[in-house]
Structure 1
Amino acid sequence: MKKWMLLVVAACVTFALTACGTSSSSADKKTLVMGTSADYPPFESKDGDKIVGFDVDLANALAKKTGHEIEVKDMDFNGLVTALKTNKVDIVLSGMTPTPKRKKQVDFSNVYYTAHNMIVTKKSSGIKSLDDLKGKTVGVQLGSIQEEKAKELTPDYNLKVENRNRISDLTEEIKAGRFDAAIIEDIVAEKYINKNEELVGYNLPKEPDEKAGSAIAFKKGSDLTEKFNKALEEMEKSGELEKLKEKWFGGETKK
């Protein structure tokens, strides 16, 4: 009888511990792990061993308002959604656009920044518009909306689309002559162009119904989504969000 009772108690304890483990959520954690790809200035980039940028400052501000702290983890952009789904990170801030495909896998906050795309190429390439890209090799970041855009343009412009994990890889391939151009988000492209005198950028024509923007990604059904959205709305109303944009983007934030 004693042995039977011990087995029952042990089973109850095991069940209770398991229940506690499964019922806990990211919303209960003090420190949230933020996944990002730190090759995307001014949103996120490395300053020595430290990761800095608009997304990092935004995450810290939102975390403070919701009672959390942030630990930033750098990884390839293409692996961020998987990292979120497999509990390797709790949130993703990485200039990520809430596309229909991504929305099937993760939840998103409201959009906090609206983006546009740019063609980046060598000054000596002769490429000055979309028409000049016909038959050219164009680089894009793997898993990005720019990759989707390039594939969308391929039938009409006969593009050869190549992808790389990092934006810095794209600019190096252009400089080495392996890519004719790359499609990169404009504000990010400008940061790389400013550091490379041989590069230049041209705005990619925007379709009337085309929407692109950055939002925070969460696990499906996460309690954090509503909390962070509320905090994000508070930052918009108070002007805190606009101050962060001015800090990292300068005056060209209202697009």
Structure 2
Amino acid sequence: MLKRLLKTTPIMGATFLAASFAFNDAQAQDSDREVVRVASNVNIPLRIFRAGDEIQGYEYEVYTEALERAGYEVEVTDVAFSGLFSGLQAEQWDVVASNVFITPARHAEMDHSEPYLAAFDALMVREDDNVRSLEDLEGTVVGTETGTTQAAYAEALNEEFGPFEIRAYEDIETQLLDLEVGRIDGLTLGYPTARVYIEDRGLFEVLSTNDASFMIGAFFRKGDPLRDEFNEALHSMKEDGTTAEIFEKYFGEAPGEESAVVRVFDEAYVPEE
């Protein structure tokens, strides 16, 4: 029976969230690790977020279940996106799972799981603003989160429709507040996240989306055998319907038959250049 303990403790400017699980220790007999440290930005609607004293979300439930099946306890550290990968390489944590797109650059630098979700980027503006088309972006201010594909999308828009100021942020809530009160004219973010904020606040709309759909997975240091253990557990979750059930719980609809939520990849996933 699953036993869970959740606590929050400040550590060096981040938040440490320990979710401890009791399961069969024999499953982890090939590793010296008993605890796997996961870094996430715990502020992403639908995927990983706080609800009172608990962490919830599709991605959170997927990675904790996968690590549980692999025989580990889990410690989660809340980290701004810009610090996720440097901390992984410095061995501050073992896994990064935070709505991270599997890009060619990240594929070259780190190992990653097979995908368990897909998404694309969007430009969101206020409904009552003067920015009604991409041509209206010239001379405006667009917010984005540092180190993300959304930042790259903002740069691409600037090259084609600018010049405009790109203002870097460390968190989405500050961006939303600044957009709401008019300190910025738009912001780039993942589309499902944009949909949540539009439904919740009723102040915004999506002006544009990019053409690329990105696969999302968990990231590991190069050569860490934990990646293969994670993938094996993830495969079992896809095959027995667990990932589909979690997806429907948060997104309110069943995943597509060929979506990354349920698809078991026969070969290691390699992103296209």
- Which has more strand, going by share of residues? 2
d(CA) in 1 for partners of 2:60 and 2:95? 12
More displaced, 196-205 or 73-82? 196-205
The residue number in structure 1 matching 2:77 is 73
1:190 to 182, 191, 195: 195
The residue number in structure 1 matching 2:105 is 101
d(CA) in 2 for partners of 1:193 and 1:40? 14
- What amino acid maps onto 1:190 in structure 2? R
Say whether the 8 Å CA contact 1:140–1:170 is kept in structure 2: yes
The residue number in structure 1 matching 2:146 is 142
d(CA) in 2 for partners of 1:196 and 1:31? 39
The residue number in structure 2 matching 1:225 is 227
Match status 1:62 vs 2:66: yes
Q: Please list every run of 5 or more consecutive structure 1 residues that lacks an aligned counterpart in the other structure.
A: 1-25
How far is 1:157 from its partner?
Answer: 0.6
Say whether the 8 Å CA contact 1:135–1:157 is kept in structure 2: no
The residue number in structure 2 matching 1:152 is 156
d(CA) in 2 for partners of 1:155 and 1:99? 21
d(CA) in 1 for partners of 2:210 and 2:39? 31
Counterparts in 2 of 1:122 and 1:240: CA distance versus 1, 3 Å: same
Match status 1:29 vs 2:21: no
d(CA) in 1 for partners of 2:158 and 2:126? 21
How far is 1:231 from its partner?
Answer: 1.6
More displaced, 242-251 or 190-199? 190-199
RMSD between aligned residues? 1.9
d(CA) in 2 for partners of 1:55 and 1:154? 31
d(CA) in 2 for partners of 1:71 and 1:55? 15
d(CA) in 2 for partners of 1:130 and 1:236? 39
d(CA) in 2 for partners of 1:201 and 1:227? 39
Q: Report % sequence identity.
A: 25
d(CA) in 2 for partners of 1:203 and 1:161? 16
Deviations 1:55-108 (A, max 9, x none): 210111101211112111101111000111111111111000122222333211
Number of aligned residue pairs: give it. Answer: 227
Say whether the 8 Å CA contact 1:111–1:214 is kept in structure 2: yes
SS of residue matched to 1:104? helix
The residue number in structure 2 matching 1:7 is none
d(CA) in 2 for partners of 1:227 and 1:93? 15
SS of residue matched to 1:28? coil
Counterparts in 2 of 1:164 and 1:253: CA distance versus 1, 3 Å: farther
d(CA) in 1 for partners of 2:138 and 2:237? 44
Counterparts in 2 of 1:128 and 1:235: CA distance versus 1, 3 Å: farther
More displaced, 194-203 or 216-225? 194-203
d(CA) in 2 for partners of 1:129 and 1:27? 54
Say whether the 8 Å CA contact 1:186–1:203 is kept in structure 2: no
Say whether the 8 Å CA contact 2:244–2:254 is kept in structure 1: no
Deviations 1:26-73 (A, max 9, x none): 943122111000111111112233322112101111012111121111
Q: Please list every run of 5 or more consecutive structure 2 residues that lacks an aligned counterpart in the other structure.
A: 1-29, 260-273
- What amino acid maps onto 2:171 in structure 1? R
d(CA) in 2 for partners of 1:79 and 1:187? 23
The residue number in structure 2 matching 1:246 is 248
SS of residue matched to 1:170? helix
SS of residue matched to 1:182? strand
TM-score (norm: length of structure 2): 0.77
- What amino acid maps onto 1:83 in structure 2? G
Look at both structures and tell me which one has the larger radius of gyration over its CA atoms. Answer: 1
Counterparts in 2 of 1:76 and 1:222: CA distance versus 1, 3 Å: same
